[in-house]
Amino acid sequence: MGISPLGVTFSVPYEIAAVRPLRQTTSAERDEALRAAHYNTELIPQELIYVDLSTDSGVSSISTNQLAVLTGANFAEPGMGLAAEGSRAFARLAGAVKSIFGFPFVIPVPQGRAAERIWAKLNVKPGSVVPGNMLFPSTRIHLEMNGASVIDVISDAAHDLKSEESFKGNLDLEKLRAATATHGAGKVGCIYVELGVNGCGGQPVSLANLKAVRAIAAAEKIPVFLDACRILENSFFIKEREAGYQNRTIREIVAETCAQADGCTMSALKDLLVPSGGLIMTRDEAAYRKAAMQCFLDGAQLSGGAMELLTAALEDIFAAESYISHRVGQVDYLWRRLNGGLPLVHPAGGHGVFIDVKVFLPHLKSENFPAEALAAFIYQIAGIRLTKGAPPAPSQSARGIELLRLAVPARKYLRGHLNDVAEALLYAHANRNDIRGFRRVEAPGRGKYDPAHFIPL
């Protein structure tokens, strides 16, 4: 709380209208849970978890506005079918999306991965090249599955975990120019820009950088696409860190960000506070119609109820900027509680705190699965779930970078929860020499993509 001539500044922009009781587990119960889960914290049942920081995707608390939508008659409306214009839910969502993001054409889908799959299928040709900034693994995979080669042109600061560079998600413009010159504009299918780059700690992209990327692309007639699932966090950091934007609203910055792109894919499960949903947005009507038909054929259309829920979330988010300020502020609070005691990625990101595992556990080799071992240790002592998150980018793997992510769900935890997380991690760091590594064990019938099973060394 702060006091100003205008009165009290509210610290929290919401009150808690519903709660889910948490059961206090014993150390013996957590030991047994780890053994039953083969020491993989991903496999521990939710009812045995105290604070879950494994992901912030699709697990944010819903608002009373969203709850009213869930229980209202409109939630039973069917989805779009082939006639999107006949869906009231689609019309409401499309109107909100156009107003906020500025793209004239929108296609709602169940998840961000569906948006990426459909968009890549329509826009990526075999043998093409796609420059990007440490793209999320699912984005990269969908591009590569359609025959493209992804070239990482992120700034060098992204690999310096201690750098205080404000916009470590920026594309290196010289690397980008070199890529277009080497391969030729005809072979560069598109430039893909992730906002709030997860791979390097939720680090933002500046509008100055995005505008420069747009200028390079326009000169070569190359489309620019955004992975905008973290556009709110990215816009918050632009307002906070980029000169000339301190007096701009988040909504204005979101619109200006989208104005630099030809199209956009988005998971709505992160910034947009829904358990399901994603968006494809474009300025190209022909691409819109192809994508809409592809969604219909793939069975990748969003239900009417889910569209209503997403529209309600957009209304909540942009009713006031206090939501995103508090959301990023919670991450910043946890980061500051741990900074100085733990080796963290600098500066603080927008959706989670990232730990440099190699420095945290220098006595464990990478083949001993140190991140998984640390996550298991934290669960055993505190019932807190952590996971590695998405696999590292190829450029990170080449440098031996290994990060453990503390993803903070929106509107879900109180400061007391975050303090408990901090205390558990500081205890683990003080006793880090007690943490043993793991050995992976293979089980009959399990594929290489199934969650791994481990045993302690």
| Cis peptide leading into residue 347 (ω within 30°) | yes
Q: What is the pTM of this model?
A: 0.94
- Assign a CATH topology to domain 2-56+321-456: Aspartate Aminotransferase, domain 1 (3.90.1150)
365-374 per-position pLDDT tens digit: 999 999 999 9
43 Ramachandran zone, left/alpha/beta (phi>0; psi -120 to 50): alpha
The CA distance from 114 to 161, in Å, is 32
CA 255 to each of CA 98, 229, 242, 391: distance values in angstroms, whole numbers, following the listed order: 10, 14, 16, 31
Exposed, middle or buried: residue 248 (CB in 10 Å: 0-12, 13-18, 19+)?
middle
Domains of the chain, by residue range, sit at: 2-56+321-456, 65-317
Which tokens in the block code for residue 42?
A: 């991903």
* CB within 8 Å of 314: residues ≥ 6 apart: 96, 97, 100, 272
**What pLDDT score was predicted for residue 320?**
86
DSSP helix/strand/coil, 143: helix
**What pLDDT score was predicted for residue 371?**
96
The CA distance from 15 to 18, in Å, is 9
The structural architecture, per CATH, of the domain 65-317 is 3-Layer(aba) Sandwich (3.40)
Quick check: do 2-56+321-456 and 65-317 share a fold?
no
Which tokens in the block code for residue 321?
A: 């900027």
In degrees and rounded to multiples of 5, residue 408 shows phi and psi of -100, 110
* CB within 8 Å of 16: residues ≥ 6 apart: none
What is the mean pLDDT of each successive set of 10 residues along the chain, which is 457 residues long?
64 85 95 97 96 94 87 67 77 95 96 95 95 96 96 96 97 96 88 96 97 96 97 98 97 98 96 94 96 91 91 92 94 97 96 96 96 97 91 90 95 96 98 96 84 94
* CB within 8 Å of 232: residues ≥ 6 apart: 250, 254, 271, 317, 324, 327
**What pLDDT score was predicted for residue 186?**
82
**What pLDDT score was predicted for residue 80?**
65
**What pLDDT score was predicted for residue 36?**
97
Residue 20 is inside which H or E element, if any?
none
User: What is the DSSP track for 395-427?
Assistant: HHHHTT--EEEEE--TTT--HHHHHHHHHHHHH
360-418 per-position pLDDT tens digit: 999 999 999 999 999 999 999 999 999 887 788 899 999 999 999 999 999 999 999 99
Strand partners, 441: 453
Neighbour count for residue 189 (Cβ, 10 Å):
25
